[in-house]
Structure 1
Amino acid sequence: MAKAQIEILASTDNMSHSEWLEMRTKGIGGSDASIILGLNKYKTSFELWLEKTGQSLLEDSAGEAAYFGNLLEDVVAKEFEVRTGKKVRSRNAILKHPEHQFILGNIDRKVVGENALLECKTASVYLKDQWESEEIPESYLVQIQHYLGITGYQKAYIAVLIGGQRFVWKEVERDDELIKMIFDAEIHFWRHHVLGNIPPALDGSSAAEQFLKERYEKSEPNKTVDLAFEYKDKISTLYSLKDKIKELESRKKKIENDIKSELKEAEYGFVGNYQVGWKPITSNRIDSKRLKTDFSEVYNKVLNETTYRKFTIKEIG
């Protein structure tokens, strides 16, 4: 049995939320594990790299959901005690791996009298199916194994409040093989991408688009390059995707029009667990054509010239 060897990076007792967010840039936390392994649907490894290298603003990716999750953490922990008869206590500290100082973790609770931890979660009612089986969502599984790897604990419990009305708890055994895989990926990400300042593969996120826009804001007039041959297939795929998107947009518009035709003068319609709305929205906008024609002097004064790089593809020859 592995002996727990826990090292503390910092106490969180008197730490402000902004200070806690700043500490997250010092290493890889439990919630980062699923991102690095490509299991997180809310953030990509490229976005994480921007955050860890100080190239994007620090913020809570889950927003209001994270806020209420933190607010209800104590409620979930107390209910776990009621349901199981176990006792838990807070561990108000940022923990670190004994060998790799950049592998960090904040565990929600330590289970008293056991070599175990408790992870508290809240989930939308729409995600209830993820908790029907004995398994837990992959992103939570790697987060828990990350914590088990740091603490040396042999097991974890995860308790979740679903939709504010259903409570589920499960036991998770330590998986040393999975922990090694997680830590290997995290070590590579930190050393190669963060310390080496080498970005992960670009993805389709808005963060990647903004990164390219800012890094290559200016172009050299009339400069050309010969693209690698692989880009011929990529361009062909891009054309196919554009055609598919156009087809899907057309289908989407047809369905919307069918529903509008059914609504007629009604502002709302209901079917099953769906509510459809089609109501008037009033907004005030400047008529730029009239402003230019009737008030040309004012128009010229407020005219703001902008420059951007336009991406185009066309077949030649």
Structure 2
Amino acid sequence: MTKSTLEMTHDEWLMDRRRGIGGSDVGTILGLNKWKSPYQLWLEKTGQVNLDYTESEPAYWGNVLEEVVAKEFQERTGKRVMRRNQVFEHPLHPFLRANIDRWVVGENAILECKTANQYLTKDWEGDEIPISYLCQVQHYINVLNADKAYIAVLIGGQKFIWKEIQRDQELIDMIQERLVEFWEENVKGNKEPIIDGSSATSDFLKERYKELEEQEITLPAAFDDLIDQKRELKEAKKNIETSIRQIDNELVSELGKRSASIGISPNNIISWKLVVSKRLNNKLLKEKYPEVANDPEIYSTSESRRLTEKEIK
């Protein structure tokens, strides 16, 4: 089943995204998206947060350059591609959806167009493809029952690469199982996913709950277990950091004994070079320029919440 996207307004397009799992959701559900967690996606799909899709600069230029990448793929391969302005749905699981970049004419194949900055060149070397993109493409192959896919990428605006991706049924089955589980249990069953430890979740929670009423609540004993676990982890972290410093001290000691700033072992280059950094001396500033130091306009203020725990004795 397919749905046309040509006549959708922006708001209709946003609401339609809530009705299923698209290609951009796959990496998030699989835990491969460092910018968004499954918890955030669950809130979006269940309508608990407003969908405010603000296009980032990389995403904007990715859309602008999509046609350029598609045309270059045609030039380099001799294949012909066409747009399919539709939302495709899986025949057995219609909530599994795909909005592909191009269809390859004369083949049962799709083309996915990407752009990447120059610092990600290594991610595309040889046969390498970023795992999140690979899973996204296999998801599209599954939804459209395609035989294979091509992925083309423009790196740093000056290096073009294209690769062929064969259908991987084992990987498809693994991806589909996880996506179906997320939709059926978490979205339809309204079961909150496990809160993960990603920075994306931390940043999201801090922003979402920054306005709270100053009141006390009673928490069950399970939260004491969490706090105990946190304290144990912090102690383990401290021990690990001490061990790391010990190794650093051994390295510095050996370099210092030999009056060297660089040491070369069979497999590593150890460098202990002088680094110069500048830091504002607030005390000196107040002494020499008190009128500047006391000017409230030079200071910026921000508010944030700090999580602390104190044992009740």
The TM tier, using the shorter chain, reads 0.7 to 0.9
| Partner residue of 1:77 out of 66, 70, 75 | 70
* Deviation sequence 1:53-75 (CA, Å, 0-9, x none): 12223244761211110111111
In the alignment, structure 1 segments of 5+ residues that lack a partner are: 1-6, 249-254, 262-281, 289-305
Compared CA separation, residues 120 and 185, structure 1 to 2 (3 A)? same
**What letter corresponds to residue 195 of structure 2 in structure 1?**
L
| Correspondence 1:44 to 2:37 | yes
2-side partners of 1:186 and 1:24: how far apart?
A: 15
Correspondence for 2:205? 208
* Deviation sequence 1:49-101 (CA, Å, 0-9, x none): 11111222324476121111011111100000000000000000011111111
> Is 2:206–2:305's contact at 8 Å kept on the other side of the alignment?
no
User: After superposition, where does 1:1-317 map in structure 2 within 5 Å?
Assistant: 7-8=1-2, 10-60=3-53, 63-204=56-197, 205=201, 206-210=203-207, 217=213, 219-220=215-216, 223=218, 225-227=220-222, 229=225, 231-238=227-234, 258-260=276-278, 284=297, 311-315=307-311
**What letter corresponds to residue 182 of structure 1 in structure 2?**
I
**What letter corresponds to residue 169 of structure 1 in structure 2?**
W
Compared CA separation, residues 125 and 188, structure 1 to 2 (3 A)? same
TM-score by length of 2: 0.74
> Is 1:89–1:109's contact at 8 Å kept on the other side of the alignment?
yes
2-side partners of 1:286 and 1:165: how far apart?
A: 42
Secondary structure (helix, strand or coil) at the match of 2:297 reads coil
Q: C-alpha root-mean-square deviation of aligned residues, in Å?
A: 3.4
> Is 1:25–1:51's contact at 8 Å kept on the other side of the alignment?
yes
2-side partners of 1:81 and 1:52: how far apart?
A: 36
* Deviation sequence 1:260-293 (CA, Å, 0-9, x none): 28xxxxxxxxxxxxxxxxxxxx9826899xxxxx
2-side partners of 1:187 and 1:16: how far apart?
A: 28
1-side partners of 2:174 and 2:39: how far apart?
A: 20
> Is 2:153–2:162's contact at 8 Å kept on the other side of the alignment?
yes
Compared CA separation, residues 53 and 283, structure 1 to 2 (3 A)? farther
In the alignment, structure 2 segments of 5+ residues that lack a partner are: 245-272, 280-294
2-side partners of 1:56 and 1:67: how far apart?
A: 23
2-side partners of 1:200 and 1:310: how far apart?
A: 24
> Is 2:82–2:102's contact at 8 Å kept on the other side of the alignment?
yes
1-side partners of 2:72 and 2:166: how far apart?
A: 21
Secondary structure (helix, strand or coil) at the match of 1:192 reads helix
> Is 1:95–1:150's contact at 8 Å kept on the other side of the alignment?
yes
Of 232-241 and 168-177, the range deviating more from structure 2: 232-241
**What letter corresponds to residue 313 of structure 1 in structure 2?**
E
Compared CA separation, residues 218 and 49, structure 1 to 2 (3 A)? farther
TM-score by length of 1: 0.73
2-side partners of 1:219 and 1:89: how far apart?
A: 59
1-side partners of 2:189 and 2:214: how far apart?
A: 25
Aligned residues: 264
1-side partners of 2:33 and 2:172: how far apart?
A: 17
* Deviation sequence 1:113-146 (CA, Å, 0-9, x none): 0010000000011101111121211000000000
> Is 2:117–2:156's contact at 8 Å kept on the other side of the alignment?
yes
Give 1:18 shift. 3.2
Correspondence for 2:288? none
2-side partners of 1:36 and 1:234: how far apart?
A: 26
Give 1:212 shift. 6.0
* Deviation sequence 1:24-73 (CA, Å, 0-9, x none): 11110011111111112221111111111122232447612111101111
2-side partners of 1:243 and 1:51: how far apart?
A: 40
